[in-house]
Amino acid sequence: MLIERSAPGKVILCGEHSVVYGEPAIAAPVSTLRAIATIAATETALKRGLRLIAADLEESLYLGEAPATHPLAAIVRQVLNHLGGPPAPNAILTVRSALPIAGGLGSGAAISVAAARALAAYLGHELSPETVSALAYEVERLHHGTPSGIDNTVIAHERPVYFVKGSAPELFTIAAPFTLLIANSGIAASTREAVAGVRRRYEAAPTEYVARFARMGALAQAAREALTQGQWATLGPLLDENHALLQAIGVSLPALDRLVEAARQAGALGAKLTGAGGGGNVIALVTPETAGEVCLALEKAGAHQVWQTTVG
């Protein structure tokens, strides 16, 4: 028996960081860039339990020897616990991902969701999006300390989401598909460090930061409006303003600003960094007509990879 399950990446369209402070944020799945988990019975005579393989990292270990903080072991333990504690099967669980690691595209949550679904299916269970999101959230906590929960939510549901920390996520429908370019700066970034840096600066100047977060929240609300009505010309400037606010809270980098500027110059309707910042990826809202030109401009401005994806 071989079972395969997958999960998409995600982009935050508006509201990263401010979401940690209770403001709304908007995220959408990136269905073309996925994490994939397969699980199959082991053929070796040595039945040592569940073997975990992270193919991209060329890492292989048995569940029994994995520390509590190992993210793949952690999601497996979450699933087994959720299912009432069955023994881990004698099998090989392999994960791989098209998503850059530490790039703000939800690679960690996508691997957790894919792995949880594959293991549960192998044991005869299908997990609901709510359940798999909650299990993946526990692993996100290992990576990030105090994550808002937006990544696991949008990835588990694979739907655009209007997200307020601590409230039930509001899934919504986008009026018509739109095209995004995702450009990888090639700079790996730690979400934990970016979030901690914002916290320090917020504590030093709370009034200014609260005002910035509130404005980001207002942009997220306006973005939801634009998305549900298909007003791409309105959405673009919202992304631009969100990027300026992310610069103001200190999470952009010259390399990211260059990509954003190049995309706008080449005709993107709007562009911003996405995710925690300090590296990672930028997104550019384009039309099918401008996509080629903007893609070239992003590559010229230093993007390591550019992906085109349709959202909605």
- Alpha carbon 12 to its chain's center: 7
CA-based nearest residue to 53, from 128, 125, 118, 102: 118
Tokens standing for 139? 């692993």
Q: Which is nearer to ligand PMV, 199 or 258 (CB)?
A: 199
CB-based burial of residue 134 (10 Å sphere; 0-12 exposed, 13-18 middle, 19+ buried)?
Answer: middle
Q: Which of 8, 9, 13, 16 binds ligand PMV (CB under 6 A)?
A: 16
Answer yes or no whether residue 7 interacts with ligand PMV by CB under 6 A: no
- Classify 228 as helix, strand or coil: helix
Contacts of 295 (CB under 8 A, 6+ apart): 181, 306, 308
Q: Which of 114, 150, 182, 245 binds ligand PMV (CB under 6 A)?
A: 150
x/- string (CB under 6 A) for ligand PMV, residues 28-67? ----------------------------------------
Q: Which of 8, 24, 270, 275 binds ligand PMV (CB under 6 A)?
A: 275
Answer yes or no whether residue 24 interacts with ligand PMV by CB under 6 A: no
Q: Which is nearer to ligand PMV, 129 or 147 (CB)?
A: 147
Tokens standing for 279? 């590296």
Q: How far is the CB of 97 from ligand PMV (least distance, A)?
A: 14
Q: Are 287 and 266 in contact (CB under 8 A)?
A: no
Q: Which is nearer to ligand PMV, 89 or 279 (CB)?
A: 279
Instruction: State the DSSP string of 208-226.
Output: HHHHHHHHHHHHHHHHHHH
Catalytic residue among 56, 151, 240, 257: 151
* Catalytic status, residue 56: no
CA-based nearest residue to 14, from 309, 291, 307, 272: 272
Q: Report the site for ligand PMV in 178-207 (rule: CB under 6 A).
A: 191, 195
Q: Which of 148, 152, 179, 281 binds ligand PMV (CB under 6 A)?
A: 148
CB-based burial of residue 302 (10 Å sphere; 0-12 exposed, 13-18 middle, 19+ buried)?
Answer: middle
Q: How far is the CB of 211 from ligand PMV (least distance, A)?
A: 18
Q: Which of 35, 276, 284, 306 binds ligand PMV (CB under 6 A)?
A: 276
| Binding stretches for ligand PMV (CB under 6 A) | 12, 16-17, 19-20, 104, 106, 144, 147-148, 150-151, 191, 195, 275-276
